Amino acid sequence: MLRFVKMHGLGNDYVYVDGFAETPPADPAAVARRIADRHRGVGGDGLILVLPSDRAAARMRMFNADGSESEMCGNGVRCVAHLVVARGHAPAGRLSIETGRGVLDLLVERDTPRRSRVRVDMGEPILEAARIPVDHPGAEVVDAPCAALGPEAPWWRDCGLDPRMTCVSMGNPHVVFWCRDVARVPLEAIGPGIEHHPLFPQRVNVHLVQVLAPDRVRMRTWERGSGITQACGTGASAVCVAGVLGGRTAGRITAELPGGELELAWSPGGHVAMTGPAEEVFEGVWYGG
């Protein structure tokens, strides 16, 4: 028996376990695969454990729907911060959360008992190819040819795809492609091949981005280990960085995702700031069937 809270940030939904009050599962990877099943489990993009920390208000461990553990989730860490405050483990305002990326600073502003608006200091982006990692000869990967896309297909012209890639790590690896119309990209078909391509030794999160204005973009995401998701906070952060590096956007943007909007800001040499909602959906008890 496992008590949980279902939460989401812009539709990027996870099952959360409050490790301050509950004993975390012994095999969280196996539990993630079962509990994230949208037909036979609770349903979600994965499982996130909220655990005590000796370095921060709480520690976050996240597991994708396929059971793989990931270093960081921007929408997830906002929800963790909300839960920590809502359950009385820390006061509202400024707090820190320990993640696989390191300790992040956040600002939690309560909207309602079940919803908060959270600003996250996402840290400095990692741009060195070897550290992202991506198998590329250059020091950085900005508007570089991408073998993972394969041969040109007719839909490239339909969506105005630029086949060059920009790669950024926000503690987890991201590859960004620009196009004229994200709705015309068959992401469900190309996402798995790019995610698992040898070019990306730790797999990769895939983002298609359409520039609407210098301060606004529209994006769709294929997340490593989860597939197409409603939103990706680390991905939106990576898109903000990629837009500045390629001269396509300003340093402060609004990203339109299928699940809603995120506000991002970045200046070269600085940290990425991300602001968006965190919302509880329901609480329950899972019996592991």
Question: Do 63 and 46 form a contact (C-beta atoms < 8 A)?
Answer: yes
Q: Are residues 175 and 86 in the same domain?
A: no
Q: Are residues 103 and 175 in the same domain?
A: no
CA distances from 83 to 8, 23, 223 (A): 11, 16, 23
Q: Are residues 209 and 164 in the same domain?
A: yes
CA distance linking residue 286 with residue 6, whole number of Å: 11
Residue count (the chain): 289
Question: Do 107 and 116 form a contact (C-beta atoms < 8 A)?
Answer: no
Phi, psi of 19 (to 5 degrees): -70, -5
Q: Are residues 157 and 201 in the same domain?
A: yes
User: pLDDT per position in the chain (289 positions), as tens?
Assistant: 999 999 999 999 999 999 999 999 999 999 999 999 999 999 999 999 999 999 999 999 999 999 999 999 999 999 999 999 999 999 999 999 999 999 999 999 999 999 999 999 999 999 999 999 999 998 999 999 999 999 999 999 999 999 999 999 999 999 999 999 999 999 999 999 999 999 999 999 999 999 999 999 999 999 999 999 999 999 999 999 999 999 999 999 999 999 999 999 999 999 999 999 999 999 999 998 5
* DSSP bridge pairs for 12: 9
Residue 267, exposed/middle/buried by CB under 10 A (0-12, 13-18, 19+)?
exposed
Q: Is 216 helix (H, G, I), strand (E, B) or coil?
A: strand
Q: Are residues 74 and 108 in the same domain?
A: yes
Q: What is the model's pLDDT at position 289?
A: 57
Q: Are residues 92 and 191 in the same domain?
A: no
- The catalytic residues are 73, 232
- The closest of 47, 49, 10, 22 to 32, measured between CA atoms, is 47
Q: Are residues 88 and 152 in the same domain?
A: no
Q: What is the model's pLDDT at position 209?
A: 98
Question: Do 223 and 63 form a contact (C-beta atoms < 8 A)?
Answer: no
Positive or negative, the CA dihedral 177, 137, 238, 147 is: positive
Domain count, the chain: 2
Q: What is the model's pLDDT at position 214?
A: 98
We report the CATH number of the domain holding residue 230 as 3.10.310.10
- The closest of 8, 75, 74, 72 to 36, measured between CA atoms, is 8
Q: Are residues 143 and 265 in the same domain?
A: yes
* DSSP bridge pairs for 69: 63
Q: Are residues 188 and 163 in the same domain?
A: yes
Q: Are residues 204 and 99 in the same domain?
A: no
Q: Are residues 104 and 190 in the same domain?
A: no
- The closest of 230, 244, 229, 234 to 274, measured between CA atoms, is 234
Question: Do 28 and 70 form a contact (C-beta atoms < 8 A)?
Answer: no
Range of the domain at 149: 129-270
- Strands 173-178 and 205-213, how do they pair? parallel
Q: Are residues 91 and 134 in the same domain?
A: no
CA distance linking residue 166 with residue 177, whole number of Å: 7
Angle CA 31–65–163, to nearest 5: 160
